[in-house]
Amino acid sequence: MSGNGRAGHITLPEIDSTNAEGFRRAQTLAGPTWILAGVQTAGRGRRARPWSSPPGNFHGTLVLKPTEPPETVALRSFAAALALRDAFVQMTGFPSSFTLKWPNDVLCNGGKIAGILLESQGLNTPDATLCIGIGVNLIAAPDAAQIEAGAVPPVSLLSETGLRITPEAFLDALAPACDRWEATFRREGFAPLRAAWLAHAARLGQPIRARTGSQTREGTFETIDPQGNLVLRTPAGTLAIPAAEVFF
């Protein structure tokens, strides 16, 4: 996601975590850069959960040097989700198969096929770095028995579509899509991303559960607001939730 031309890329056979490598290399990078790993030995998802990273799946990070305030920088998770969906549709020709789950997952036929992890350091300083970590189950998905009860079951692109796509080929579709959404975000702000995201949102207008810490709220998924918060309509009123685990 560059606003100044296409991002470069670095491919490594094995690394602990592409986000960790992004931070290690950040100060030496001349511009937006993708880091792609054949294998991650310590991949992680949200809340530091381990992320299964077998060979053949996509494990990549886009390293950026953002200049905006932290709340604006965080909205790039929606740009990444939209770019992922564009890449999936381009490579499969199945637009109806791919939906977006708040806050940062992509679903294929209702199962989780990709996740996004934003991590940042030094925002609002000259050394600001944002690492947008993306994991895609191209050929393998974790065992459903390892997934938290009630969570969306994981699926792979191969199992759902029969298509075997390499990580390198997927990056060839994903990187330009990220560039396009980044350019839109810089030029027009969050509004067009919000509209596009809502057009592909999973379970919009339907009952969901949102868990924040030990508290779980149930209600109707009404929208996302201009700050990217989940808007949940409950019997007690309408809530704007900035961060939560969502269950269907």
- Within a domain: 1: no
Are residues 223 and 178 part of one domain? no
69 with 117, same domain? Answer: yes
In a shared domain, residues 20 and 132: yes
Q: Identify whether residues 91 and 173 lie together within a single domain.
A: yes
- The whole-model pTM stands at 0.93
If 0-12 CB within 10 Å is exposed, 13-18 middle and 19+ buried, where does residue 38 land? middle
CA 63 to chain centre: 14
Verify that 98 and 31 share a domain, yes or no.
Answer: yes
Q: Is the peptide bond before 103 cis (omega within 30 degrees of 0)?
A: yes
Identify the CATH number of the domain in which residue 224 sits.
2.30.30.100
In a domain, 12, yes or no: yes
40 and 129 inside one domain:
yes
pLDDT in tens, 3-29: 345 678 999 999 999 999 999 999 999
The candidate with the shortest Cα–Cα distance to 123, out of 75, 183, 193, 71, is 71
Task: Mark whether 162 and 122 lie in a shared domain.
Answer: yes
Say if 238 falls within a structural domain.
Answer: yes
Residue 153 lies in a domain: yes
Question: Could you give phi then psi for residue 49, rounded to 5 degrees?
Answer: -70, 145
- Shared domain check, 90 and 36: yes
pLDDT at residue 2, as a whole number: 38
Question: Is the same domain home to 137 and 219?
Answer: no
Residue 86 covered by a domain: yes
pLDDT digits (tens, 9 = 90+) for 174-226: 999 999 999 999 999 999 999 999 999 999 999 999 998 889 999 999 999 99
- Shared domain check, 216 and 106: no
Section 221-244 average pLDDT: 96
d(Cα 56, Cα 7) in Å, to the nearest integer? 22
Task: Please check whether residue 190 lies inside any domain of the structure.
Answer: yes
Task: Give the percent of the chain with pLDDT over 70.
Answer: 94
Span 51-93, pLDDT tens digits:
667 899 999 999 999 999 999 999 999 999 999 999 999 999 9
- Residue 187 and residue 109 share a domain: yes
Domain that holds residue 215: 207-247
Do 126 and 222 share a domain, yes or no? Answer: no
DSSP states of the chain? --SSS--EEEEEEEES-HHHHHHHHGGG-SS-EEEEEEEESS-B-GGG-B----TTSEEEEEEE---S-HHHHTTHHHHHHHHHHHHHHHHH--GGGEEEETTTEEEETTEEEEEEEEEEESTTSTT-EEEEEEEE-SS----GGGSPTTSPPB--HHHHH-----HHHHHHHHHHHHHHHHHHHHHH-SHHHHHHHHHTBTTTTSEEEEEETTEEEEEEEEEE-TT--EEEEETTEEEEESS-EEE-
CATH number at residue 188: 3.30.930.10
Q: Is the pLDDT at 38 greater than 50, yes or no?
A: yes
Is 112 or 47 the better-scoring residue by pLDDT?
Answer: 112
Q: How many domains does the chain have?
A: 2
Residues 6+ apart with CB under 8 A from 49: none
